[in-house]
């Protein structure tokens, strides 16, 4: 029965994998605690390293390179995800037509918008309910770097949008006036596309628009967008009047989300999905994040194998050269386990230094900006490398694991060669 | 070749070291192959673009439509040989993760405009006669295990709502290995019947075939001039220009991945070079003995280089072989996220040459050191 055999095989693979992981963890702990567990004095290790410093440096560089690449790729994916997640606020809810995976494919009527405005749980201030009904499209603008066109997300918003997206603020100039051919441009968009500077006039959609302000949206995807009046954009995109693509609502408090959602969804006139803004944007990042993580993970995995080979080579050569020293130590009375611990400790020290070096080498990348097209929305998004403390921690652990893999076999070999044979070698 | 015995004997002295060094080389070459393939995948659109095809899209936004009524005017422009129109269906098959491109096509002109995408006449005839018919690229068909006669439901999100169903009438494959074999085509007429009224008569883009490639730019300008100042202004580019600017939107990611990959590659090579240097250093006294019994300095250099080249050769071949076997498997894992990964013969040649070059380089310094050994000094080191 294929089912049973399959399960058996899976169980076997799992057991082997678990054993492997256990061995690595044991090796790691043993190596790190070696000085306390009774190995050869560690001054011996440090002096050996100094005596054979060229090979050690190569091994350190190999590990540093791998860790650096690993952390860099993960921070790239991290940065992309962070930008998109930052776009969502837990205090906002997003309303899309039922079944639409993205804003671009949505359609919410003005009547539905009115129902939303009257729903419970919606924040209100002096200007009325904090609801913005929006239209989105992508339009070509030339990139400063290549001169060729990239698709920029242009969002038609209601004039009270800044009170709903409270993390967005006008950094220079002012907000556009409703009904006029004016636009405000996100900070990143202004830096990525030519012509989007304060006071400049740009042409799109068959008309001229004045850039009256630059806004800062706190490092979210909105920083790569251009905002203008929703009604005007609707006309340019030749969409039917009074149909918007999304409605964003500022909730009275994040806790009122459920109450708001229930009220909307139970209304028979409404054919919409209600999600927390933060959940929607997390979903928008999945494809790109997955692509970068998979590609980066593959490169890092391949590199790790190469680095482990390099470390193994270095360790084996070290043991070959130090054959007589090891035999002498054992003749003096150190046991095999002392020697193994000693070599494990040495391998781990080398890989630890390599890991630190790798992390330090990529730290300058933190905050470095780049941009790419988000597959899911066709729009260009600017984002930055984001290196967090736990990412660095993962990098160091990765380095230590490579150290264990590269050190354990040579260590065992060193400890098990017959003393008399080793002493006899020239 | 009379020294091959000697060289091999030297190589196999320390089997573990040999295996590890060859392994490092193999890993480096595998990485080289993987990165080349990914870079090609990002460049794909520009590579397969045809010189005599033009893409016509709406000038305001790529997602805005162009009226079907523009077709006749376009055909009357001198230099235009034929035109076909398409729409992006963008539906979901079972799950968003199962993404593949779905196009609404104009069956009359599709094959003439895209002659490199080949369908058997029999299957095409069946497709044309079946209103709900579909032609699928072989890669997508393989991915889901579809056969002729299967009924496929696809949910639409852009064009109204609900499930549309199609019958698979045939498959297409590309003439060249880089051609896109993942597309799903179905009939324009069926599409027009079922979209909401407000969305009828709208084309996503036109693909125009010109009489001669030299004329392409002039015809592109004429098309845009024809529809300038109309409610749906057009932007016409050659297919390669369109693909190139599309690729440039990914630009930075590609550069980053490749620069990181290069760092990786050189790090690995540094490691292997060092290993070869160590092995030569260990054998100083033996090399001195060779010189003492009469081998010339140059022969000693030759021995060292031959060894490092042998390692590079075997390691390089192993890595490229691994790439040849493993990359198609990886490609399946990345299905839908990147265009298909294709192993080009040129990559193997370049990779192999690089491996040999590195083998030479890493053996050179130790070899020169060995060459210059003074017998007396070397023998003294015991």
CB B114 within 8 A of CB B129: no
pLDDT band at A184 (very low <50, low <70, confident <90, very high): very high
Task: Give the per-residue pLDDT at A228.
Answer: 92
Nearest to A372 among B38, B253, B264 (CB): B253
Question: Which of A366-375, B256-265, B322-331 has the weakest average pLDDT?
Answer: B256-265
Q: pTM of whole model > 0.95?
A: no
Give me A231's structure tokens: 């009604």
| pLDDT tens-digit map of A341-356 | 888 888 888 899 999 9
Distance, CA of B101 to CA of B88 (rounded, Å): 8
CB A134 within 8 A of CB A95: no
**Helices vs. strands in chain B: H and E counts, helices first:** 14, 12
Distance, CA of B135 to CA of A144 (rounded, Å): 41
Q: Percentage of chain B surpassing pLDDT 70?
A: 96
Most A CBs within 10 Å, among B267, B311, B327, B337, to test the A interface: B267
| pLDDT tens-digit map of A383-399 | 888 899 999 999 999 89
Task: Give the per-residue pLDDT at B136.
Answer: 93
Among A198, A186, A214, CA closest to A83: A186
Give me A335's structure tokens: 């046991």
Distance, CA of B109 to CA of B352 (rounded, Å): 44
pLDDT band at B103 (very low <50, low <70, confident <90, very high): very high
Q: For the complex shown, is ipTM > 0.95? A: no
Task: Give the per-residue pLDDT at B156.
Answer: 86
Give the pLDDT mean for B149-177: 88
pLDDT band at B335 (very low <50, low <70, confident <90, very high): low
Residues of chain A contacting B253 with CB distance shorter than 8 Å: 76, 292, 370, 372
Among B321, B20, B98, B151, CA closest to A315: B20
CB A226 within 8 A of CB A186: yes
Q: Do residue A138 and residue B62 have CB atoms under 8 angstroms apart?
A: yes
Q: What does the DSSP 8-state code read for residue A388?
A: -
Residues of chain B contacting A101 with CB distance shorter than 8 Å: 92, 96, 157
Distance, CA of B130 to CA of B150 (rounded, Å): 13
Tell me how far CA of residue B165 lies from CA of A54, B131, B133, B161, in angstroms. 67, 11, 9, 13
Q: A277-315: b or e for each residue (b if 16 or more CB lie within 10 Å)?
A: bbebbbbbbebbbebbbbbbebbbebbbbbbbbbbbbbb
Give the pLDDT mean for A18-32: 82
Q: How far is A183 from chain B (nearest CA, A)?
A: 16
Sign of the Cα torsion B32, B41, B112, B60 reads negative
**How many other CB atoms sit within 10 Å of the CB of residue A36?**
8
Q: Do residue A206 and residue B233 have CB atoms under 8 angstroms apart?
A: yes
Task: Give the per-residue pLDDT at A137.
Answer: 85
pLDDT band at B251 (very low <50, low <70, confident <90, very high): low
Task: Give the per-residue pLDDT at B170.
Answer: 92
Mean pLDDT of chain A: 84
Name beta bridge partners: B167.
B133, B151
Distance, CA of A245 to CA of A325 (rounded, Å): 76
pLDDT band at B153 (very low <50, low <70, confident <90, very high): very high
Give the pLDDT mean for A280-298: 80
Task: Give the per-residue pLDDT at B134.
Answer: 92
Give the pLDDT mean for A297-306: 82
3-state secondary structure A274-323: EEEHHHHHHHHCHHHHHHHHHHHHHHHHHHHHHHHHHHHHHHHHHHHHCH
Within A119-160, residue ranges assigned H as helices are: none
Distance, CA of B12 to CA of B19 (rounded, Å): 9
Distance, CA of A411 to CA of A415 (rounded, Å): 6
Contacts of residue B95, defined as CB under 8 A and 6 or more positions apart, other chains included, come to none
Give the pLDDT mean for A389-416: 86
Q: Percentage of chain A surpassing pLDDT 70?
A: 99
3-state secondary structure A208-265: EEEEEEEEECCCCHHHHCEEEEHHHHHHHCCCCCCEECEEEEEECCHHHHHHHHHHHH
Placement of tokens 């729409």 in the chain: B87
Q: How many CB pairs (< 8 A) connect A and B? A: 175
Task: Give the per-residue pLDDT at A278.
Answer: 85
Q: What does the DSSP 8-state code read for residue A154?
A: E
Residue A68 CB-half CA count within 13 A: 25
- Looking at per-residue pLDDT, the higher value among A311 and B125 belongs to B125
**Mapping DSSP to helix (H, G, I), strand (E, B) and coil, where does residue B304 land?**
helix
Full DSSP string of B21-52:
HHHHHHHHHHHHHHHHHHHHHHHHHHHH--TT
pLDDT band at A425 (very low <50, low <70, confident <90, very high): low
Task: Give the per-residue pLDDT at B382.
Answer: 53
Task: Give the per-residue pLDDT at B284.
Answer: 77
Give the pLDDT mean for B46-66: 83
Distance, CA of A338 to CA of A330 (rounded, Å): 9
Q: Do residue B249 and residue A287 have CB atoms under 8 angstroms apart?
A: no
Task: Give the per-residue pLDDT at B105.
Answer: 92
Nearest to B260 among A59, A72, A145 (CB): A72
**Mapping DSSP to helix (H, G, I), strand (E, B) and coil, where does residue A106 land?**
coil
Nearest to A100 among B35, B157, B274 (CB): B157
The yes-or-no verdict on residue B239 having pLDDT over 80 is: yes
Task: Give the per-residue pLDDT at B185.
Answer: 93
**Mapping DSSP to helix (H, G, I), strand (E, B) and coil, where does residue B187 land?**
strand
Q: Do residue A291 and residue B337 have CB atoms under 8 angstroms apart?
A: yes
The yes-or-no verdict on residue A185 having pLDDT over 90 is: yes
| pLDDT tens-digit map of B215-232 | 888 999 999 998 888 888
**How many other CB atoms sit within 10 Å of the CB of residue B97?**
13
**Mapping DSSP to helix (H, G, I), strand (E, B) and coil, where does residue B90 land?**
coil
Q: What does the DSSP 8-state code read for residue A92?
A: E
Give me A310's structure tokens: 């390099």
Residues of chain B contacting A72 with CB distance shorter than 8 Å: 260
Task: Give the per-residue pLDDT at A183.
Answer: 92
Question: A142: buried, middle or exposed (CB in 10 Å: 19+, 13-18, 0-12)?
Answer: middle
Q: How far is B102 from chain A (nearest CA, A)?
A: 15
Residues of chain A contacting B158 with CB distance shorter than 8 Å: 105
Backbone phi, then psi, for A149, in 5-degree steps? Answer: -80, 145
Among B272, B374, B252, B351, CA closest to B37: B351
The yes-or-no verdict on residue A149 having pLDDT over 70 is: yes
Residues of chain A contacting B233 with CB distance shorter than 8 Å: 206
**Mapping DSSP to helix (H, G, I), strand (E, B) and coil, where does residue A338 land?**
helix
Task: Give the per-residue pLDDT at A1.
Answer: 56
| pLDDT tens-digit map of B173-218 | 988 877 888 899 999 999 998 888 878 888 999 999 998 888 888 9
Give the pLDDT mean for B51-72: 88
Give the pLDDT mean for B16-21: 85
Distance, CA of B61 to CA of A104 (rounded, Å): 12
Distance, CA of A157 to CA of A230 (rounded, Å): 5
Q: What does the DSSP 8-state code read for residue A225?
A: -
CB B39 within 8 A of CB B253: no
CB B236 within 8 A of CB B54: yes
Give the pLDDT mean for A65-82: 86
Share of chain B residues as helix, strand and coil, in percent rounded to the nearest 5: 60, 20, 25
């Amino acid at each position: 029965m294929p089912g049973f055999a399959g399960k058996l095989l899976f169980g076997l693979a799992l057991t082997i994998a678990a054993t492997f992981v256990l061995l690595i963890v044991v090796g790691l702990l043993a190596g790190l605690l070696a000085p306390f567990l009774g190995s050869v004095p560690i001054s011996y290790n440090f002096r050996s390293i100094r005596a054979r410093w060229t090979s050690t440096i190569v091994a350190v560089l190999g590990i540093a390179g791998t860790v650096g690449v690993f952390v860099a790729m993960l921070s790239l994916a991290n940065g992309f995800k962070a930008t998109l997640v930052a776009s969502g606020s837990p205090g906002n809810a997003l309303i899309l037509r039922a079944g639409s995976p993205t804003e671009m494919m949505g359609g919410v009527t003005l009547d539905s918008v009115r129902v939303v405005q009257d729903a419970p749980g919606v924040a209100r201030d002096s200007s009325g309910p904090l609801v913005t009904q929006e239209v989105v499209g992508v339009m070509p603008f030339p990139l400063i770097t290549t001169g060729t066109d990239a698709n920029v997300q242009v969002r038609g918003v209601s004039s009270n949008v800044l009170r709903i997206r409270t993390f967005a603020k006008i950094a220079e100039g002012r907000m556009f006036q409703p009904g006029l051919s004016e636009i405000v441009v996100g900070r990143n968009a202004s830096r990525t596309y030519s012509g989007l500077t304060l006071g400049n006039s740009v042409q799109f959609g068959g008309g001229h628009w004045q850039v009256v302000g630059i806004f800062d949206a706190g490092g979210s995807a909105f920083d790569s967008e251009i905002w203008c009046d929703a009604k005007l954009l609707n006309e340019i995109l030749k969409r039917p009047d009074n149909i918007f693509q999304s409605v964003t609502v500022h909730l009275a408090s994040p806790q009122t989300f459920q109450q708001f959602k229930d009220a909307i969804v139970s209304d028979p006139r409404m054919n919409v999905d209600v999600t927390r803004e933060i959940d929607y944007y997390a979903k928008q990042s999945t494809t790109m994040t997955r692509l970068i993580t998979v590609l980066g993970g593959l490169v890092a995995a391949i590199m790790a194998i190469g680095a482990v080979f390099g470390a193994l080579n270095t360790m084996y050569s070290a043991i070959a050269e130090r054959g007589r020293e090891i035999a002498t130590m054992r003749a003096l009375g150190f046991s095999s386990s002392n020697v193994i611990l000693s070599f494990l400790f040495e391998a781990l020290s080398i890989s630890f230094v390599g890991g630190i070096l790798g992390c330090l080498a990529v730290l300058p990348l933190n905050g470095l900006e780049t941009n790419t097209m988000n597959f899911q929305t066709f729009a260009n998004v600017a984002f930055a490398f984001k290196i967090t403390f736990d990412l660095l921690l993962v990098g160091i652990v990765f380095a230590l694991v490579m150290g264990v893999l590269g050190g354990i076999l040579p260590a065992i070999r060193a400890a098990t060669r017959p003393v008399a044979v080793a002493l006899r070698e020239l | 070749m009379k020294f091959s015995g000697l060289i091999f004997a030297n190589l196999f002295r320390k089997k573990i070291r040999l295996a590890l060094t060859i392994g490092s080389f193999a890993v480096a070459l595998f990485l080289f192959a993987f990165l080349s393939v990914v870079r090609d995948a990002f460049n794909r659109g520009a590579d397969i673009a045809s010189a005599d095809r033009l893409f016509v899209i709406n000038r305001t936004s790529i997602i805005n439509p162009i009226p079907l009524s523009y077709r006749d005017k376009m055909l009357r422009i001198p230099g235009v040989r034929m035109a076909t129109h398409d729409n992006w269906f963008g539906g979901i098959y079972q799950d968003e993760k199962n993404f593949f491109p779905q196009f609404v096509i104009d069956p009359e002109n599709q094959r003439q405009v895209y002659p490199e995408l080949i369908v058997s006449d029999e299957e095409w005839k069946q497709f044309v006669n079946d209103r709900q018919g579909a032609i699928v690229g072989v890669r997508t068909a393989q991915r889901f295990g579809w056969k002729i006669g299967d009924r496929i439901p696809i949910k639409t999100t852009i064009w109204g709502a609900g499930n549309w169903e199609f019958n698979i009438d045939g498959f297409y494959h590309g003439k060249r290995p880089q051609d896109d074999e993942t597309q799903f085509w179905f009939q324009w007429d069926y599409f027009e019947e079922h979209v909401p009224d407000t969305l009828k008569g709208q084309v996503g883009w036109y693909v125009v075939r010109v009489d001669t490639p030299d004329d392409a730019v002039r015809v592109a300008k004429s098309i845009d001039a024809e529809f300038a100042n109309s409610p749906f202004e057009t932007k016409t580019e050659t297919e390669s220009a369109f693909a190139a600017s599309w690729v440039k939107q990914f630009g930075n990611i590609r550069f980053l991945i490749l620069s990181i990959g290069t760092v990786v590659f050189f790090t690995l090579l540094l490691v292997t070079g060092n290993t070869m240097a160590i092995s030569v250093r260990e054998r100083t006294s033996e090399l001195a003995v060779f010189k003492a019994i009469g081998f010339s300095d140059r022969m000693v250099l030759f021995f060292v280089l031959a060894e490092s080249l042998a390692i590079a050769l075997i390691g390089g071949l192993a890595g490229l072989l691994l790439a040849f076997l493993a990359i198609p498997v990886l490609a399946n894992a990345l299905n839908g996220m990147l265009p298909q990964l294709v192993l080009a013969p040129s990559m193997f040649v370049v990779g192999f040459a690089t491996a040999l070059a590195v083998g030479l380089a890493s053996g050179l310094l130790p070899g020169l050191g060995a060459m210059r050994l003074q017998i007396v000094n070397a023998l003294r080191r015991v």
